Structure 1
Amino acid sequence: MTNRRNFLKKTALATAGLALASFKNATETAENKIELKPSQKPIVLSTWNFGIKANEAAWEILSKNGRALDAVEAGVKIPEGDPNERSVGYGGRPDRDGKVTLDACIMDEFSNIGSVACLEHIKHPISVARAVMEKTPHVMLVGKGALQFALLQGFKKENLLIEESEKEWKDWLKTSQYKPIANIENHDTIGMIALDANGNLSGACTTSGMAFKMHGRVGDSPIIGAGLYVDNEIGAATATGHGEEVIRITGCHLVVELMRQGLSPQKACEEAVMRIVKLTKNRGKELKDIQVGFIALNKKGEYGSYCIQGGFNYAVHDATGNKLIDANYFLK
């Protein structure tokens, strides 16, 4: 009887041991699957169709294990320097006084930030913003002070008002009717966010702002938390469209915080747009008169986008190639 009890006891212990080992192995396998799940990196996103060329420049750096910060600066410099792109940098449409004023900001994985606003005569405001970040104790310089700083850093003073933009401005002066359009007709901004091979995020945003705006007007593009925000633990977001509406909800910070709460990049963008929709309706304004679009990227390399009305698109470059995507939108 004793031997039988011992046999049953040993059998039960062995069975339990096998079950425990099986559970442990299954758990370890599941954990390993989670740990070994590859991230979608490197990857870069940018707003509008000019983001395709911008992404190519960024990818040159990212594909060689370069830093996301260097990639986003190089990327947005492409439309900044292209006179055919009439809403960014050189060739941008002027304000109502005929002056081309530029805004830009940049943010890296360490939450270092730099920004310029109402900057004239400098073709690449994004590089001036980076110089503010790296060479001053400040985070934003504006107007004449920003220009003075840029010249001291060796940036070249240039005339940014090209013939085509000047003609449009003079035609506008005949009526001086201010009805800004921030859709495909007036791209407004290039925002770029990237995740590099080391898993670090950075972002950049640059614009000449709304065509024929009031002199001194600043939108969301150079404002950290509005037109751009990066949290290297969570993700990054950038915006385009009517800057006043993005500022109203500190849009890109909101998108990143929603991702922190567990929302996907797509759902976070949708929620931010719906905040603007609600506030616009509460203020008695027409949604058809405004456009705002967000793009977002998380640490896994997952991305998403959403906007108020159709017409907004964004470019995505990863290891599979470079593509342009039409963003989903609220107003059908």
Structure 2
Amino acid sequence: MSWGTIATWRMANEGVEKASTILKENGTAGDAVEKLINTVEAYPYYKSVGYGGLPNEEGVVQMDAAFMNGDTLAQGAVGAIENVMHAVSVARALSREHYNSFRVGEGATKFASLHGFEMTNMLTERAKKRWQKRCKEIEQQNLNPYDGHDTVGAITLDKNNSMAAATSTSGLFMKKDGRVGDSPLSGSGFYVDSKVGGAAATGLGEDIMKGCLSYEIVRRMQEGELPQDACNHAVYPFIKDLKKRYGKAGEFSLVAMNNKGEWGVATNVEFTFCVATDKQKSVILMANPIDNMKTKIEPVSQEWLDAYEKRIHAPIV
């Protein structure tokens, strides 16, 4: 039977490898996608997700996350949750609740604490230094404070043809207290249906949520489009239309996988993603838009990977 997983950004690679092992060994799509996201959340050098994630303008790390079961369509989500190591695990627990399955702020944090989830200060010294540096830059140079909004989003397919989707992010760097992006919003940041497939998004949430693009990609796959065609046809025309109607469009990147393990990607920026299936060993790939209509996909170079590792571990000065 087919299995597969796809996730946003290079930072998901180790998580994709762990999810692949679970799926190869007949594990569930839900367990695989949670493990994938947990791996990213726990790594302190990824500045846009989980532990070590960049804080809001008040220096507080507030995280958004979601989980969706493609068999039952059950969903759970958290917004602006604080002091929780694995926000996506809280979201998965909430997906089992018929009522109150989307919790935000203090209510989300209280739920996590009462139900035994690992609690910790998510602001590392490294992230604090980056925040302090940014505050000084804003004061001295009158810079735009907003920088960095990379979500880890993933889709998984197991050997029983069950699928799951999940997202996690610390959101927009220097965001206002309580700001929530697209990542925990059904149909915008994620959507999955085991009868069809799933999609997940990363980029500027305020603009992604204007198009409900994850749901639109799944809808197109349901009508018979291959994942790559569905991504191209959903994302690029919307970006063009948004620029015309709204005047601008932020960064958009979406990944998708159908229930056969076929996958697709669309983006308006240089975008890395990770994918593994029963037919394809885990790999990191680079996507770029072509004429704002199609997507060029190619392997990342070792030079790029080396530069990436150097950049994320560089001292904050």
Pairs within 5 Å for 1:154-303 = 154-176=116-138, 177-178=143-144, 180-181=146-147, 186=148, 188-274=150-236, 275-285=238-248, 287=249, 290-303=250-263
> How many angstroms apart in 1 are the aligned matches of 2:291 and 2:60?
34
What do the CA deviations read for 1:260-317 (whole angstroms, capped 9, x no partner)?
12221111111222212311232222x5xx21101111112110001012x2011011
* Alignment correspondent of 2:103: 141
Larger Rg: 1
Matched, 1:329 2:264: no
Identity, % of aligned pairs? 38
For the 8 Å contact 2:227–2:263, the answer to whether it is kept is yes
User: Given the alignment, which residue of 294, 318, 321 partners 2:277?
Assistant: 318
Partner of 2:8: 47
Mapped contact 1:48–1:187 kept (Cα < 8 A): no
Q: Give aligned pairs, total.
A: 285
- Match status 1:304 vs 2:270: no
Aligned to 1:100: 61
SS at match of 1:253: helix
**Pairwise mapping of residues 18-97 of structure 1 onto structure 2 (< 5 A)?**
41-97=2-58
Letter matched to residue 29 of structure 2: A
Cα gap change, 1:122 to 1:331, in 2 (>3 Å): farther
Paired residue secondary structure (2:136): coil
Cα pair 2:231 2:265 within 8 Å, conserved? yes
Tell me which amino acid in the other structure corresponds to 1:321. Answer: K
Gaps of 5+ in 1: 1-38
Judge which range, 63-72 or 268-277, deviates more.
268-277
- TM-score, normalized by length of structure 2? 0.86
1:174 shift after superposition: 2.0
Distance 2:55 2:289 in 1: 29
CA RMSD of aligned residues (A): 1.5
One-letter amino acid of the structure 2 residue matched with residue 128 of structure 1: V
Counterpart residue identity of residue 285, structure 2: I
Shift of 1:135: 4.4
CA contact (8 A) 1:94 1:169 kept: yes
- For 2:144 and 2:105, the matched residues in 1 are separated by 23
Give the secondary structure class of the aligned counterpart of 2:209. Answer: helix
CA distance in 2, matches of 1:57, 1:187: 24
Contact between 1:237 and 1:253, CA under 8 Å: does it hold in 2?
yes
CA 1:216–1:235 in structure 2 vs 1: closer, same or farther (change >3 Å)? same
Distance 2:17 2:137 in 1: 40
Question: Deviations for 1:115-143, whole angstroms, at most 9, x for unmatched residues?
Answer: 00000000100010011112462220000
Output the amino acid matched with 1:303. Answer: W
What stretches of structure 1 move > 6 A for 4+ residues in a row? none
Shift of 1:59: 1.3
Q: TM-score w.r.t. structure 1 length?
A: 0.82
Distance 2:175 2:191 in 1: 25
Cα pair 1:308 1:331 within 8 Å, conserved: no
* Corresponding position of 2:310: none
